[in-house]
């Protein structure tokens, strides 16, 4: 029946036929493609990407930091005093984020009352009382306007405010007051745990000598297991000058990178440290409060400038596993097959003798021919049959 022809084609079976084609150009292309696949499989998949390993890219990490060093600094109003880790390190608990004071502006013995606002505040300048509406806060200033315009000095008149008086000093020192901070040290202890492989490692040398960490300083070649970093070296590694950064403060990112091949000895699993500048200005205010003999509340205000350190930990670990190894090997075999497909397409569609290759590659064997091939042999001429 005519309508049965398309349905009959569904029952056709196609099998491979191999043809030796002596086309040197296509042969060379085939070998080049095979070499490219082999190079990709051995070089990139196995050596670089280590496709035969199972990986853990979400490790658990803990960071403990500790600053050490002393300096003497102060201003005329606040007086010179000794600064140690309890004074210049913020916050005190030593987590992954900490702040090192390198400069400050002190305003001593402030008490709540009324006083002229600073003329450096634009909203504070006035010529008459009408310029200072009572109860309005000074925009960008230190207090609430009382409704009076008073004399600040021989040059300026400003609004009187209810605030902590005298108002905050805004005279920045020309040089960082804690310049010795560049010789301070930062202890960064980091422990990482790859849960998939039940493997843990610490960046600090496991030693019973209590004096080791008091005398060593990190060096990538000579002392890579000493987690004690000199502040000057960290700022320099971030591409900055300590004196410039200490004056107005800044923020530095400390990145600890673990890349562990667990098919090798555990001693070869070591962290890599990198430092980068995040911001060139950083400051905040803090105050200490006290009562005088007459039970009046006072405070000493400090505007602190310094370097903020943000410590982050990243890592991955790999170990041999049969499943990713089999997948990588299977992908390589598939790519080898793709090289043959590409060469076939070149022969059948791009070569000048494409029609010849079509005839040689594809051959139709009909049912009658297959029956003749599988039945009795035909009689040869001259043979007598009984």
Checking if the pLDDT of 75 tops 70, the result is no
228 and 207 in contact (C-beta within 8 Å)? no
Q: Could you tell me the CA-to-CA distances from 175 to 24, 172, 301 in Å, in that order?
A: 77, 9, 20
Structure tokens at 320: 């041999």
Contact of 30 with 343, CB cutoff 8 Å: yes
Q: What is the pLDDT of residue 196?
A: 93
Phi, psi of 43, deg, nearest 5: -75, -55
Q: Give just the sign of the alpha carbon dihedral 49, 51, 53, 57.
A: positive
pLDDT of residue 109: 92
Whether the ω angle into residue 91 lies within 30 degrees of 0, i.e. cis, is: yes
User: Measured between alpha carbons, how far is 246 from 176 in angstroms, rounded to an integer?
Assistant: 6
Q: Which among 320, 171, 307, 310 has a CA at the least distance from the CA of 249?
A: 307
Domain 60-107+187-287+304-319 has CATH 2.60.490.10: yes
Q: What are phi and psi of 200, to 5 degrees?
A: -125, 150
More confident residue, 379 or 327: 327
Question: What's 241's DSSP letter?
Answer: -
Give pLDDT, residue 81: 79
Apex 200 CA angle, 196 and 202, nearest 5: 150
Helices (H), 52-106: 85-88
Q: How far is residue 216 CA from its own chain's centroid?
A: 27
Spell out the domain ranges in the chain.
21-52+321-354, 60-107+187-287+304-319
Element (H, E) at 337: helix 322-345
What's the average model confidence in pLDDT over 87-106? 86
d(CA 164, CA 120): 17
Task: Give the DSSP letter of residue 281.
Answer: -
Lowest mean pLDDT among 20-24, 83-87, 258-262, 320-324: 20-24
Residue 384 has pLDDT above 60, yes or no: no
Per-residue pLDDT tens for 330-366? 888 888 888 888 888 888 777 777 777 777 776 666 6
Same fold, 21-52+321-354 and 60-107+187-287+304-319: no
- Per-residue confidence band for 186, with pLDDT thresholds at 50, 70 and 90: very high
How much is the pLDDT for 369? 52
Give pLDDT, residue 356.
Answer: 74
User: Looking at residue 13, what is its pLDDT?
Assistant: 72
The answer on pLDDT for 385 being more than 50 is: no
CA 299 to chain centroid, in Å, comes to 41
For domain 21-52+321-354, is the CATH number 3.30.70.60? no
Instruction: Give the predicted TM-score (pTM) of the model.
Output: 0.76
Quote the CA–CA distance of 19 and 5 in Å, as a whole number.
30
pLDDT, residue 45, reads: 83
| Partners of residue 259 on adjacent β-strands | 316
Q: What is the gyration radius of the CA atoms in the chain, in angstroms?
A: 40
Q: Which tens digits make up the pLDDT trace of 273-304? A: 999 999 999 999 999 999 999 999 999 999 99
């Amino acid at each position: 029946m005519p309508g049965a022809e398309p349905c009959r084609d569904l029952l056709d079976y196609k099998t491979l036929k191999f043809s030796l084609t002596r086309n040197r150009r296509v042969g060379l292309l085939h070998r080049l493609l095979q070499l490219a696949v082999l190079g990709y499989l051995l070089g990139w998949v196995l050596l670089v990407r280590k496709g035969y390993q199972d990986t853990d890219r979400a490790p658990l990490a803990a960071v403990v930091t500790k600053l050490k060093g002393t300096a003497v600094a102060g201003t005329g109003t606040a007086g010179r005093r000794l600064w140690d880790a309890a004074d210049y390190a913020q916050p005190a608990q030593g987590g992954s984020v900490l702040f090192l004071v390198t400069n400050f502006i002190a305003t001593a013995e402030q008490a709540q009352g009324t006083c002229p606002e600073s003329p450096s505040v634009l909203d504070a300048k006035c010529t008459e009382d009408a310029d200072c509406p009572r109860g309005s806060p000074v925009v960008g200033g230190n207090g609430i306007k009382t409704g009076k315009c008073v004399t600040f000095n021989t040059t300026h008149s400003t609004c009187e405010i209810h605030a902590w008086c005298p108002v905050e000093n805004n005279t920045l020192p020309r040089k960082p007051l804690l310049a010795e901070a560049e010789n301070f040290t930062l202890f960064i202890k980091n422990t990482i745990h790859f849960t998939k492989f039940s493997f843990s490692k610490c960046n600090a040398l496991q030693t019973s000598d209590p004096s080791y960490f008091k005398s060593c300083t990190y060096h990538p070649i000579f002392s890579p297991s000493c987690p004690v970093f000199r502040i000057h070296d960290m700022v320099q590694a971030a591409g900055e000058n300590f004196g410039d950064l200490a004056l107005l403060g800044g923020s530095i990112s400390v990145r600890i990178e673990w890349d562990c091949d667990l098919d090798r000895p555990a001693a070869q699993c070591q962290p890599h440290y990198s430092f980068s500048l995040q911001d060139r200005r950083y400051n905040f205010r803090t105050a200490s409060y006290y009562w005088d003999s007459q039970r009046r509340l006072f405070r000493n205000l400090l505007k602190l400038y310094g370097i903020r350190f943000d410590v982050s930990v990243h890592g991955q670990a790999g170990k041999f596993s049969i499943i990713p190894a089999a997948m990588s090997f299977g992908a390589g075999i598939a790519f080898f097959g793709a090289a043959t497909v590409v060469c076939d397409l070149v022969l059948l569609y791009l070569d000048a003798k494409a029609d010849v290759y079509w005839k040689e590659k594809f051959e139709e064997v009909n049912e009658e021919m297959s029956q003749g091939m599988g039945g009795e042999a035909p009689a040869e001429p001259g043979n007598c049959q009984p």
